[in-house]
């Protein structure tokens, strides 16, 4: 479908009954919505995403998760423009295979993150419109989360939300996991059960207030025993 989108001066989509001439422009990008979240624990990592694929006022699919398994210890969440998400994950898979063949071992989470940074920067002047978050276990078996911007700037975090509802989720995570803006509170380490429950609660809140987030929540829990997937229904409206 051509992404000739009709936009007014203020950047919002125009109403159906427009009152004046409008310039149509081809845009190679389109915004398909979706929210991704990753949390790193002591010996686990969680990558979660909603499964709604939208464009403008329509929903293309209610079952399009944004978490992709890369290796037994790493999962990536990609949200933004779905076309670029698909291509990017294909390229990452190919590069993982090439590394495995040349070096006779699987790529570690840190190595995948560094590689993704250069892949994204390679398109500095025509970027992949994708907000990536990698979640996995590092070489010591501890949880690791790496968050990226569309052109490859990245850093390791404990938790990060990306995508359309990121601005709603991130402050809640800052408070609950980072203990920000709370005084006199004991900083307890995050258990896996508590983290999973927090992720579910946080997405339920996001689905309430963000139109692009909803339908279902796919959670991937990465531990040394492998990757476990869980699906939780969300608001479908």
Partner 1 sequence: MNSILTACSDGDGPERKIQFLHGTTTLAFKFQHGVIVAVDSRATAGAYIASQTVKKVIEINPYLLGTMAGGAADCSFWERLLARQCRVYELRNKERISVAAASKLLANMVYQYKGMGLSMGTMVCGWDKTGPGLYYVDSEGNRVCGDLFAVGSGSMYAYGIVDSGLKQKDLTVEEACDLGCRAIYQATYRDAYSGGQVNLYHVHSEGWNRVSQSDVLMLHQQYQAEKA
Nearest residue (CB) to partner 1, 83 versus 150 = 150
CB of 230 to partner 1, least distance (A): 28
Minimum CB separation of residue 141 from partner 1 in Å reads 23
| CB of residue 14 to partner 1, shortest distance in Å | 12
Task: Pick between residue 32 and residue 49 the one whose CB is nearest to partner 1.
Answer: 32
Q: Which helix (H) or strand (E) holds 198?
A: helix 192-209
Instruction: State which residue, 16 or 125, has the beta carbon closest to partner 1.
Output: 125
DSSP code of 7? Answer: B
Beta-carbon neighbour count of residue 227 at 10 Å?
Answer: 19
CB of 150 to partner 1, least distance (A): 5
Q: Could you give the CA distance from residue 46 to residue 221 in angstroms, rounded to a whole number? A: 5
Question: Which residues would be at the binding site for partner 1 (CB under 8 A)?
Answer: 5, 7, 9-13, 25-29, 31, 117-118, 120-121, 124-127, 129, 147, 149-155, 157, 164, 166-167
Evaluate whether 69 touches 82 at the Cβ level (below 8 Å).
Answer: no
Name the residue nearer to partner 1 (CB basis): 129 or 203: 129
Contacts of 121 (CB under 8 A, 6+ apart): 151, 152
Least distance in Å: CB of 203 to partner 1?
19
Q: For the beta carbon of residue 121, count every other beta carbon within 10 angstroms.
A: 12
Per the CB < 8 A criterion, the answer to whether 51 and 216 are in contact is yes
Residue 85 and residue 64: Cα distance in Å, rounded? 12
The residue (of 12 and 101) whose beta carbon lies closer to partner 1 is: 12
Token output for 92: 């990452």
């Amino acid at each position: 479908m051509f992404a000739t989108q009709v936009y007014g001066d203020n950047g919002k989509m125009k109403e159906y009954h427009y009152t004046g001439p409008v310039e149509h422009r081809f845009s190679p990008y389109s915004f398909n919505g979706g929210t991704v979240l990753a949390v790193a624990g002591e010996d686990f990592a969680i990558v979660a995403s909603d499964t709604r694929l939208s464009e403008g006022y329509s929903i293309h699919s209610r079952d399009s998760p944004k978490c992709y398994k890369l290796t037994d210890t790493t999962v990536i969440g990609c949200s933004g423009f779905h076309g670029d998400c698909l291509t990017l994950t294909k390229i990452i898979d190919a590069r993982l295979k090439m590394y495995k063949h040349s070096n006779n071992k699987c790529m570690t989470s840190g190595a995948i993150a560094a590689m993704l940074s250069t892949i994204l920067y390679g398109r500095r002047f025509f970027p992949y419109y994708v907000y990536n978050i990698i979640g996995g276990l590092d070489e010591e078996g501890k949880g690791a989360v790496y968050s990226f911007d569309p052109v490859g700037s990245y850093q390791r975090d404990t938790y990060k939300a990306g995508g359309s509802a990121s601005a709603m989720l991130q402050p809640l995570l800052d408070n609950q996991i980072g203990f920000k803006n709370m005084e006199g509170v004991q900083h307890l380490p995050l258990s896996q059960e508590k983290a999973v429950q927090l992720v579910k609660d946080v997405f339920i809140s996001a689905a309430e207030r963000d139109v692009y987030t909803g339908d279902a929540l796919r959670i991937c829990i990465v531990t040394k025993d492998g990757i476990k997937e869980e699906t939780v229904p969300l608001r479908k409206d």
